[in-house]
Structure 1
Amino acid sequence: MKLLPLAALLLLVLTALEARPKPAALKCRTGPLDIVFVIDSSRSVRPFEFETMRRFMIDIIGNLDVGPNATRVGVIQYSSQVQNIFSLKTFFTRAEMERAINSIVPLAQGTMTGLAIQYAMNVAFTVQEGARPPHKKIPRIAIIVTDGRPQDRVSEVAAHARNAGIEIYAVGIQRADMNSLRAMASPPLEEHVFLVESFELIQQFGKQFQDKLCGG
């Protein structure tokens, strides 16, 4: 579990800004990934907060080497239901992904996180939806971003997803329930569970998360 209080996070961001390389060196070059963002769009997420989630996704995608033979990206949102925004096979340029993310209309209902994880496992990470076959050993990564407490069970379905080869990062914002984040995430928890103190800071957090995602 990694707690990011305001002062510590700002210090890390300032340090990263001072030491960051030129833009051409920011791309993730550790090999291809299959990444699915699982975004909470329940009614408790305010409009400006959802806009910040958009920026978080766009910032991370902007630093990935995306393409059919490189990193593939999918996005689903959830509340009381799950909606596929785009699949791993849909887009292969950052511009297309950014347009689709900016067009998302929040669902604004309940918070069925377990249902969203089930969908990711059974649908989003299937070969039919664009995931590379298991024998190719391309890492499958789910990034769950949520501000609330799930209204359904997450432990069992998350365990099934992890056993199916999906690496889960749980990013909680503000009111997120830490026990639920820990129940979702892959071990070691200190590398896969993050609690960001406010939505205002998630964009800066994304820059640090990029290093973690790319093994930096």
Structure 2
Amino acid sequence: MEASELHFGLGKAFNKSEMRMEKGWRVFQVLVIVVLAVFGTDAQRAGCKNVHYDLVFILDTSSSVGKENFEKVRQWVANIAESFDIGPEKTRVAVVRYSDRPTTEFNLGRYKTLEDVKRAARNIKYLGGNTMTGDAISYITSNVFTERAGARPPDHGIQRVAILMTDGRSQDYVLEPSKAAHQAGIRLFAVGVGEALKVELEEIASEPKNAHVFHVSDFNAIDKIRGRLRRRLCESKFTCPFNTHRNEEKAPPELLSALPRVGSRGSCRRLDVLCPNMKVQPDRFKPNSTSAGLQEVPGIECEFRHPL
């Protein structure tokens, strides 16, 4: 056999092998996407059931919201509450409504079952008036996240979380009250509707901003962000050993939608970035490691970090 024929034959065989490997990897990616689509929602709910918070909703009830839209907000709060195990030793829920001034609708720990919380959420009073968002944030820091109002002591290890929803520009300053809340250990999510200002939402929200700021065009769309918000709430800082960097141009959109948005560009690329609720051994994988049969995912880069 001529050397050129041998070279051609080996090259052809190698190309076939490479094509089979590429085809196998594509099939594997599709299977991952299907599994995420089928089981993702149940896994998220299961994750939330294992995460306990002191959780406060801060709801804008100013005149621009309107009674009809506020009915959608009531239902949205009830729907979010369904993600958690509600109880004295589990997740406690409170609601604060605000316009000209903040008012506690019900405190942490007042309602001890999910059904009680949902019933109370559907009966939140609508106020009307101005939009004093900064005052509302100061109020929850000083008056709601307190042991007197039903919050658990810091040494109990229960994270304090607040979800603020507003539909417009605040008529007072939000930056300093938000900083004070962050320093008090309160994790703040900011949900903006319609004309709510992104810069103001970012001043309110905890870091990383892109994980704690949400915006929708109108109140008809607020339920569309419920799944993403729930994923953020359900993520545990102990479960995922990677920060992820997303390259929107290269990565498959189905994978992008399943990945956490937090993180920074790193040195390793692997499928283990799909791990919001998957526990792994923190010392098993190293940066730049190619062990354990892990594959590269186009457009996804991750940076190893130990759990906090």
Query: What TM bracket, shorter-length normalisation?
Result: 0.7 to 0.9
CA deviation after TM superposition for structure 1 residue 143, in Å? 0.3
Distance 2:194 2:210 in 1: 18
Distance 2:120 2:49 in 1: 24
CA deviation after TM superposition for structure 1 residue 32, in Å? 1.3
Q: Which has the higher contact order (CA 8 A, sep 6+)?
A: 1
SS of 1:26's partner is helix
The correspondence for 1:176, drawn from 174, 196, 200, is: 196
User: TM-score, normalized by length of structure 2?
Assistant: 0.62
Distance 1:46 1:39 in 2: 13
CA deviation after TM superposition for structure 1 residue 211, in Å? 1.3
Within the alignment, does 1:196 sit opposite 2:213 as a pair? no
Any runs of at least 4 consecutive aligned residues in structure 1 with deviations exceeding 2 A, and if so which? 15-27
Aligned position for 1:9? none
Does structure 1 retain, via aligned residues, the 8 Å contact 2:60–2:131? yes
Distance 2:70 2:192 in 1: 13
Q: Identify if the C-alpha distance between structure 1 residues 151 and 68 changes in structure 2 by more than 3 Å, giving closer, same or farther.
A: same
The correspondence for 1:26, drawn from 29, 45, 53, is: 45
CA deviation after TM superposition for structure 1 residue 21, in Å? 5.8
Aligned position for 2:143? 123
Distance 1:179 1:36 in 2: 22
Distance 2:165 2:228 in 1: 15
Does structure 2 retain, via aligned residues, the 8 Å contact 1:32–1:70? yes
Does structure 2 retain, via aligned residues, the 8 Å contact 1:35–1:140? yes
Q: Identify if the C-alpha distance between structure 1 residues 24 and 162 changes in structure 2 by more than 3 Å, giving closer, same or farther.
A: closer
SS of 2:189's partner is strand
Aligned position for 1:74? 94
CA deviation after TM superposition for structure 1 residue 49, in Å? 1.3
What is the aligned length? 202
User: TM-score, normalized by length of structure 1?
Assistant: 0.88
Aligned position for 1:49? 69
Within the alignment, does 1:160 sit opposite 2:155 as a pair? no
Gaps of 5+ in 1: 1-14
Within the alignment, does 1:63 sit opposite 2:83 as a pair? yes
- Kindly, what percent of the aligned residue pairs are identical? 38
CA deviation after TM superposition for structure 1 residue 198, in Å? 2.0
Does structure 1 retain, via aligned residues, the 8 Å contact 2:75–2:122? no
